[in-house]
Structure 1
Amino acid sequence: MTDGGRIFDPGLQPERTALAWRRTGLAVAVGAVAGMRVLTPALGAGAVVVGLLGLALATLLVVGSMRRARRVEVALLRDHCLAAGPGGRLVATVCIACTAVGVAALVAVLAAHAAR
Structure 2
Amino acid sequence: MSALFDPGLQPERTGLAWQRTCLAFLAGSLLAMKVLPPILGPWSLLLGVGGVLEAVLLLFAVRWRYLRHYETLTTPDRPPVRAADGRLPAALGASTVVAGIISLALVLTIRT
Name 1:3's counterpart in structure 2.
none
Name 1:96's counterpart in structure 2.
94
Distance in 1 (alpha carbons) for counterparts of 2:39 and 2:14: 37
CA contact (8 A) 1:25 1:58 kept: yes
Count of matched residue pairs: 105
CA contact (8 A) 1:35 1:51 kept: yes
CA contact (8 A) 1:40 1:48 kept: yes
Does residue 42 of structure 2 align to residue 45 of structure 1? yes
Identify unmatched segments of 5+ residues in structure 2: none
CA contact (8 A) 2:69 2:81 kept: no
Alignment of 1:8-23 (within 5 A): 9-23=6-20
Does residue 45 of structure 2 align to residue 61 of structure 1? no
Does residue 31 of structure 2 align to residue 34 of structure 1? yes
Query: Identity over the aligned pairs, expressed in percent?
Result: 37
TM-score (norm 1): 0.69
- Whichever residue aligns with residue 26 of structure 1, its letter is L
Higher relative contact order (CA 8 A, sep 6+): 1
Distance in 1 (alpha carbons) for counterparts of 2:66 and 2:58: 12
CA contact (8 A) 1:28 1:54 kept: yes
Which of residues 22, 25, 32 in structure 1 aligns to 2:22? 25
- Whichever residue aligns with residue 94 of structure 1, its letter is L
**CA RMSD in angstroms, aligned pairs only:** 3.0
Distance 1:76 1:88, change over 3 A: farther
- Whichever residue aligns with residue 58 of structure 2, its letter is L
TM-score (norm 2): 0.71
- Whichever residue aligns with residue 34 of structure 1, its letter is L
State the shift of 1:38 in Å: 1.7
